């Protein structure tokens, strides 16, 4: 999983570099001023890392019920993040007229944030599958290591969001 994270980091780095390189270079169309900082969504996503950590700890101590609770919370926080991103994009597309083909800002913004959201979605699918196994009563503490490895992926997704958030909403604006 560490190797996968290294490889994925390289992909994100290229998209971040492209974003930074193209800041201010759009010839026309909406600028980053139309962005509203997604503070609530960010808090949700970063908290989901904390709840994920608590879930894994519960499983290691063989508290499957507790695990299920924290896992469901993680899943929900991740879903809220995606919904919030969807709402933000809805506003950008229909109120501000920003799409991936509008201008350089649109292209680089949707590519970078979209790539991250795609990774969140894949993580969410994994979260749902584990949730399903837990609800079916099949989860035991002997799977702790596997869940721990998966949690590395989720923490990585959160770490990437910290970088993307900083580059897009702090530096880029």
Partner 1 sequence: MASDSIAITPVAVGARSIGEKIHDWIVTVDHKKLGIMYIVYALIFLVIGGIEATVMRIQLMVPNNHFVSPEVFNQLFTMHGTTMIFFVAMPILFGFANYLVPLMIGARDMAFPRLNAFSFWLTAFGGLLLYFSVFGGNGLYGAGTAPDVGWWAYAPLTAKAFSPGHSSDYWTLSLLVSGFGSIGTGINLIATILCMRCPGMTLGRMPLLAWLNLVMSGMVLITLTPLSAAQIMLLIDRYLGGHFFDTQAGGSAAIWMHFFWIFGHPEVYILIIPCFAFMSEIVPVFSRKPIFGYPVMVGATVCIGFISMSVWAHHMFTIGMSSYANSFFAITSMIVGVPTGIKIFNWIGTMWGGKIQFKTPMLFCIGFLFQFLIAGLTGIMLASAPFDWQLSLSYFVVAHFHYVIVGGILFAIFGAFYYWYPKITGRMLSETLGKMHFWLFLIGFHLTFDFMHIPGLLGMPRRIYTYEAGRGWEAWNMIVTIGVFFQIAAVLVFVWDLVWSFYQGEVAGNDPWDAWTLEWSTASPPPEYNFARIPVVKSRRPLWDAKHPEDPDWKYE
Which residues are near partner 1 by CB under 8 A? 3-4, 6-8, 10-11, 14-15, 18, 21-22, 25-27, 99-101, 103-104, 106-108, 111, 115
Using only C-alpha atoms, the chain has a radius of gyration, in whole angstroms, of 18
The minimum distance between CB 62 and partner 1, in angstroms, equals 26
Tally of CB atoms within 10 A around 142: 9
The minimum distance between CB 80 and partner 1, in angstroms, equals 27
Contact (CB, 8 A) for 106 and 100: yes
The minimum distance between CB 1 and partner 1, in angstroms, equals 9
Tally of CB atoms within 10 A around 136: 8
State which residue, 3 or 36, has the beta carbon closest to partner 1.
Answer: 3
State which residue, 90 or 135, has the beta carbon closest to partner 1.
Answer: 90
3-class SS at 103? coil
36's torsion region: left (phi>0), alpha (psi -120 to 50) or beta? Answer: beta
3-class SS at 145? helix
State which residue, 27 or 33, has the beta carbon closest to partner 1.
Answer: 27
The minimum distance between CB 61 and partner 1, in angstroms, equals 26
Contact (CB, 8 A) for 26 and 109: no
Contact (CB, 8 A) for 20 and 123: no
State which residue, 107 or 141, has the beta carbon closest to partner 1.
Answer: 107
State which residue, 58 or 104, has the beta carbon closest to partner 1.
Answer: 104
The minimum distance between CB 109 and partner 1, in angstroms, equals 11
């Amino acid at each position: 999983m560490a190797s996968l994270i290294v490889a994925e980091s390289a992909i994100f780095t290229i998209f971040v570099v492209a974003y930074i390189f193209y800041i201010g270079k759009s010839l026309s169309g909406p600028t980053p001023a139309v962005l509203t900082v997604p503070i609530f969504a960010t808090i949700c996503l970063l908290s989901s890392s904390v709840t994920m950590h608590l879930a894994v700890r519960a499983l290691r101590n063989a508290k499957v019920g507790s695990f299920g609770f924290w896992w469901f919370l993680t899943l929900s926080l991740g879903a809220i993040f995606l919904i919030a991103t969807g709402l933000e994009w809805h506003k950008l597309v229909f109120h501000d007229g920003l799409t991936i083909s509008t201008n350089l800002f649109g292209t680089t913004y949707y590519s970078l944030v979209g790539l991250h959201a795609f990774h969140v979605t894949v993580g969410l699918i994994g979260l749902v599958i584990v949730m399903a196994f837990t609800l079916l009563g099949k989860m035991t503490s002997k799977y702790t290591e596997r869940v721990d490895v998966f949690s590395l992926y989720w923490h990585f997704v959160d770490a990437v969001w910290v970088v993307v958030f900083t580059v897009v909403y702090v530096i880029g604006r």
